Structure 1
């Protein structure tokens, strides 16, 4: 799986890149039909002390799937986003198996 990581209006972080890549590799081993991941890290001023946003879009056969989360830190945002993607991938896998 090809992974593209973009930092929107924030400083690039090699540590975060490695962190998200490691988690996406686990996902790609479980779901081998995932082709590409586009990851976006953003920061938004937020009164709730959150504002660390992680968006991930996965390309795979059929429609793309997308998840986003807004958390207190980027690590939590990555975990939450990947958890959402995994749920969507499970649903897609169930549809593929049934057909």
Structure 2
């Protein structure tokens, strides 16, 4: 099998997997999209967590750890880029209420 063809087959399989998981592809122009900035920031937050494992023991372990991380990140972690509000506060329109309580 030619290397380019093998890469295309693997990429197509990955695209199908991501699609089945509800991941939507972004077709932004190169060097224009801000998608990567947010993704890189989230990966840095994830990898610098004190309890981030060197290796996951299994797919179940990885899914479980990530589920806890994303719950914390979205619902509890006050993001500096969101004026120390949580993403859930911003998404659900609770910023004014939270600010008033502060």
TM > 0.5:
no
In terms of fraction of residues, the more strand-rich structure is 1
In terms of fraction of residues, the more helix-rich structure is 2
Larger relative contact order (Cα-Cα within 8 Å, sequence gap ≥ 6) = 1
Greater radius of gyration (CA):
2
TM-score, structure 2 normalization: 0.30
